[in-house]
């Protein structure tokens, strides 16, 4: 089996690799978005405490 055959996946390569890519994007978003939201929340909280 050549690399080209592996990536072609019997003619279904586009669908297979697209689904892998979308899955990776969703998994990364599930990691990154909460981290960003937590940082924003902590900044807002610190700013609110400084005002008081």
Give 27's pLDDT tier (boundaries 50, 70, 90). very high
Distance CA 28, CA 22 (A): 10
Q: Which residue has the tokens 């890519």?
A: 21
Quick check: 41 pLDDT over 90? yes
The arithmetic mean of pLDDT across residues 5-32, rounded, is: 95
Can you list the alpha helix ranges (DSSP code H) found in 1-52? 3-8, 13-51
Quick check: 46 pLDDT over 90? yes
pLDDT at 34: 98
Structural domain tally of the chain? 1
Q: Is the pTM of this model over 0.85?
A: no
The parent domain of residue 11 ranges over 3-51
Q: How far is CA 28 from the centre of its chain?
A: 2
């Amino acid at each position: 089996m050549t690399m080209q055959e592996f990536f072609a996946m019997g003619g279904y390569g586009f669908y297979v690799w697209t689904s892998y890519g979308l899955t990776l994007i969703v998994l990364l978003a599930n990691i990154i978005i909460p981290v960003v939201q937590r940082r924003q929340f902590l900044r807002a909280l610190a700013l609110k405490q400084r005002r008081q």
